[in-house]
Amino acid sequence: MWRRVLALIRKELLAVLADPRSRAVLIGPPLLQLIVFGYAASFDLNHAPIAIYNQDRSLASRDLVARFSLSPTFTVKRVLSSGRRIDALIDSGEVRAVVVIDPRFTRDLYRHVPAPVQVIVDGRNSNTGLLIEGYAGTILSDFSRAWSASHGGDPPPAVLDIRALYNQTLDSHWFIIPGIVALLTQVVTLLVVGLSVAREREIGTFDQLLVTPLRQIDILLGKGLPGLIIGMGEATVIIAATVLWFHVPLRGSLAALYLALLLFVLAVTGIGLAISALSATQQQALLGAFLFMVPSIILSGFATPIANMPPWVQWLTLLNPMRYILVVVRSVFLQGADLSSLGAQLWPMALIGVVNLAVAGWLFRKRVI
Amino acid sequence: MTESPAAASNAADEAIRIENVRRSFRSGGRTVEALAGVTAWAARSRITGLVGPDGAGKTTLMRLIAGLLLPDSGRIEVLGVDVAREPLAVQGRLGYMPQRFGLYEDLSVRENLDLYADLQNLAPGARAARYAELMHMTGLEPFLSRMAGRLSGGMKQKLGLACTLVNPPALLLLDEPTVGVDPVSRRELWQIIELLVRDSQTTVLFSTAYLDEAERCAHVLLIHEGRLLGSGPPQDFMAEMSGRSFLATAPIGRRALQESLAETAGVIDTVIQGGRVRLVTAASADPQAIAAGIAGLALTPVPPRFEDSFVARLRTRAVSGERRPTPEVAVTATAGATGGEGKREAVISVQHVTRRFGPFIAVDDVSFEVARGEVFGLLGANGAGKSTTFRMLCGLLPPSAGALRVAGFDLRTAAAVARRRIGYMAQRFSLYGDLTVRQNLTFFASVYGLSGSVQTRRIEWAMTEFALGPLLLARANDLPLGFKQRLALACALMHEPEILFLDEPTSGVDPLARREFWRRIGALAAGGVTVLVTTHFMEEAEYCDRLLIMSEGRVLTEGTPDAIKAAARRAELPDPTLEDAFIAAVGARGAAAA
């Protein structure tokens, strides 16, 4: 039996690699997404355009303005001489925020009473707005501390001292790129497995397979295992790129990571086989794959934290294998996790995998053979 | 104007003028030359046949004429207009019915007509009269409100034709309108088109792979592999062949007779026709000398067919060019399988089988048996139920009622090993196109459980037997159609099955490839292999030992080709073809139902 399954796997791999379109599916999206997520997508704020309306024009206020303009977070695009244009600038989106320094700024500093600085933030993108608020606050408190140190006066009564564990510089790439390992493995496995039966149905070779002595289980294995092999291969390439190219540290156990990936790919293969069984054409299969893929990414914690979702959606995410693998990937990469600490993620994936494969087998029997 | 010689034409009479047109396509890493310098013309108000096997370049030429493609070089003038320069001016005056005409299956016949009337800007006031005319012409009047998807294959083609004709075109391009249409509808389609030419002086370019249709055209352009092999009235093609076609009988089996005749010098073509063998001699050959070579051979002269001339042309090309690889077909048992009716062991048995798809009955109480070593044909148009029957036999579809047995097993429920005894060749030679010839062979050998030296031996056998050796590393998709068919058969035969299922095995391949294929099947049957073949191609049915003709899910008639033809013999039709017999059988059933 294994000889036959092996022949099927060999054929499947040859066909995927020889067909320019499926080759493109294996190479195109991973490359594109690595570039997009590796370089373009980031939660960090960089070079946000701001305007400054400095009504004080003293040494102290110029020092504060310099802190804003030297910060990599902000780029000072406009220096205003009146407050009239503030609304228009924010409205047109030319600047994301305007820093307004009060005429009494220096006087109040010397008097040791709170010296007012207003930051008007574009709140249309709440996420960016919050980030600007945070960065502006940091710049201002740094300034206050430096001012008290050099000019006397009471230091701020309480000081926040933040130290980030696992990702000391809070570089959001470290959060995103390991997630891509899970994301791309899912995309590729799903497409390879989901389209393989439909492709054969379209060209008519599937009937040919069914009349050979291959049994249902042989065909199921022959269609599922190539996806597993390709998915694991894809994961390896992306792990290598994450470590060697993007220099994200891999601190935990590689064996634990691979075991988790194997369970994840099995679960996704089950979904791919189910899509395969249900779709008659490659177009339907592609549609089915995306129908699954989009919610599974949104409900995985890839970009938005699951803890922020409403409770019933959080319950829903428990069915999503990607939810678990993301935790595994991130904790192995950044936190140095090993097998013993990952049990809570592994057994749900294994359970989902078993259920998916069983359903796929049942659908195959009902719809295909 | 002066009288011009027959070959030339008057500019005023020419609807289409094609001058040295070339067109190639890139596929994979390869360039395929679809048209390699074609020069031809088509007369106004006549039916010109564009005749050739699949892959000859017919569709490419049609699309070039319709201005949907541009030639790489050369020039096409349609109704006096250069197509490449003013495609819109040409398209406004022509009707084009592509191979798969875009009927909307969920719209009724009338809604489809409305849609095409809108697309072709037919004034609403003129519609009622035009529809009435078209519906009368196509006989679709009673079906105006029926969904297009619920029409039969033949009716769909007629509706497609009607939609193309909504706004009467000066030039009508029909791309293989008769493919897969049952013989009755095929005749009706031809009558409609002939009427159209007579009454409206429409110019028609009709492409077809059925060589017998060439005989109905006023003028034929015979193309093969992108080149024009000949052009002229079909009578001219057939005149070249006059006195060279015979029907042979001899007291040996028909397959043995065909083998001996094929080996005889001076014979360029042999085809089994029922119990006899039809042969065509070389121009220089003496029929008496041929008759003398085989004991008891009797030759009856028969009128030539268009196909004879095509085969003769292909043969001369093959001889002048490199020699076609004619694989050795081992004919082991000559007597016995074909003639010897010692014991009729039923290898395939179908008992009262019915298959429903929802309310639709695709196969309705069909029963038949096939004996070992028999070549059995399931004949019928698209939608007759033959493919459904075939799929049930292969175990791809369960029957709704009744029992099927293949080699004593129901393939749907039998253990996988039972399937090792059958070979299967799917329609359109389904192969793994991105895999090489060798990879395809290896895959099918492994799947059938061959390994090691047995596998090596069988792959070597396939290479030599089917002359695939030089192509081992070619991708299956890049093979010419005839070789694809050989590879598909080789894959089906890797494990030496005792039963062979063939689904439309030679549709579209050129006549030489078809002959070679059937010689091989004959040899296999002689060796004891049972062959079940589906076809809608009457020609192909002549090779079968026995036939079952199906229509609308039911068995119309069953018997040897000769018996079926004999049953259709009438005073006005002394020598009916299988097509005549089919039409007679359909007519008889219609009469019985009425």
Mode of pairing for the β-strands spanning B94-97 and B171-175: parallel
Instruction: Work out the pLDDT band at B7, boundaries 50, 70, 90.
Output: very low
**Cβ neighbours of residue A144 under 8 Å, at least 6 residues apart?**
A156
Domain B11-237 belongs to what architecture? 3-Layer(aba) Sandwich (3.40)
Cα of first residue to Cα of last residue in chain B, in angstroms, is 58
Answer whether A141 touches B (CB < 8 Å): no
Domain stop point among A116, A151, A186: A151
Strand order in the sheet with B276-281: B267-273, B276-281, B245-249, B298-301
Q: Are residues A197 and A325 in the same domain?
A: yes
Domain stop point among A151, A180, A201: A151
pLDDT digits (tens, 9 = 90+) for B128-181: 999 998 998 888 888 888 888 888 778 888 999 999 999 889 999 999 888 877
**Cβ neighbours of residue B12 under 8 Å, at least 6 residues apart?**
B1, B44
- Would you call A205 and B391 a contact, using CB atoms and an 8 Å cutoff? no
**Which of B225-229, B478-482, B505-509: highest mean pLDDT?**
B225-229
The residue ranking higher by pLDDT, B323 or A119, is A119
Strand runs (DSSP E) across B338-442, as ranges? 346-357, 360-371, 375-379, 401-406, 422-425
Q: Are residues A267 and A142 in the same domain?
A: no
**How many domains, chain A?**
2
Residue A36 inside a domain? The answer is yes
**Model-level pTM?**
0.77
Q: Are residues A144 and A244 in the same domain?
A: no
Residue A156 inside a domain? The answer is no
Q: Are residues A9 and A91 in the same domain?
A: no
Q: Are residues A142 and A242 in the same domain?
A: no
Answer whether A11 touches B (CB < 8 Å): yes
Picking from B422, B426, B432, the nearest residue to A207 by CB comes out as B426
Q: Are residues A27 and A135 in the same domain?
A: no
Every domain of chain B with CATH number 3.40.50.300 lies at: 11-237, 346-559
pLDDT digits (tens, 9 = 90+) for B311-343: 888 887 765 544 444 444 444 433 333 444 445
CA–chain centroid gap for A350, Å, is 23
pLDDT digits (tens, 9 = 90+) for B82-119: 999 999 988 888 999 988 777 888 899 999 999 999 98
Q: Are residues A210 and A109 in the same domain?
A: no
Mean pLDDT score, A4-12: 91
Residue A158 inside a domain? The answer is no
Residue A157 inside a domain? The answer is no
Q: Tell me, what's the ipTM?
A: 0.73
Instruction: Give the domain B346-559 fold.
Output: Rossmann fold (3.40.50)
* Cα(B404)–Cα(B368) distance, integer angstroms: 10
- CB burial of residue A238 (10 Å; 0-12, 13-18, 19+): buried
- Which tokens sit at A32? 């594109």
* Cα(A85)–Cα(A79) distance, integer angstroms: 11
Q: Are B98 and B175 in contact (CB under 8 A)?
A: yes
Q: Are residues A110 and A239 in the same domain?
A: no
Please state, in angstroms and as integers, the Cα–Cα distance from residue A249 to each residue in A41, A328, B14, B308, following that order: 19, 14, 77, 77
What CATH code is carried by the domain that includes residue A81? 3.40.1710.10
Residue A300 inside a domain? The answer is yes
CA distance B441 to chain A (A): 11
Of the listed ranges A286-290, B173-177, B248-252, B382-386, the least confidently predicted one is B382-386
Q: Are residues A207 and A352 in the same domain?
A: yes
Answer whether A205 touches B (CB < 8 Å): yes
- Which tokens sit at B273? 């026709």
Please state, in angstroms and as integers, the Cα–Cα distance from residue B220 to each residue in B9, B78, B155, B231, B236, following that order: 14, 18, 26, 5, 10
3-state secondary structure A184-235: HHHHHHHHHHHHHHHHHHHHCHHHHHHCCCCCHHHHHHHHHHHHHHHHHHHH
Q: Are residues A195 and A239 in the same domain?
A: yes
Please state, in angstroms and as integers, the Cα–Cα distance from residue A336 to each residue in A166, A246, A329, A349, following that order: 9, 18, 10, 20
Residues of B in contact with A11 (CB under 8 A): 432, 435, 439, 443
Q: Are B380 and B185 in contact (CB under 8 A)?
A: no
Question: Spelled out in words, what is the top-level CATH class assigned to the domain B240-320?
Answer: alpha beta
- Would you call B420 and A7 a contact, using CB atoms and an 8 Å cutoff? no
Residue given tokens 């698209």 in the structure block: B382
Residue given tokens 């609308």 in the structure block: B552
Mean pLDDT score, A244-259: 89
* Cα(B197)–Cα(A322) distance, integer angstroms: 66
Q: Are residues A68 and A117 in the same domain?
A: yes
Q: Are residues A15 and A81 in the same domain?
A: no
Residue A88 sits in which domain range?
48-151
- Would you call B447 and A203 a contact, using CB atoms and an 8 Å cutoff? no
CA–chain centroid gap for A61, Å, is 40
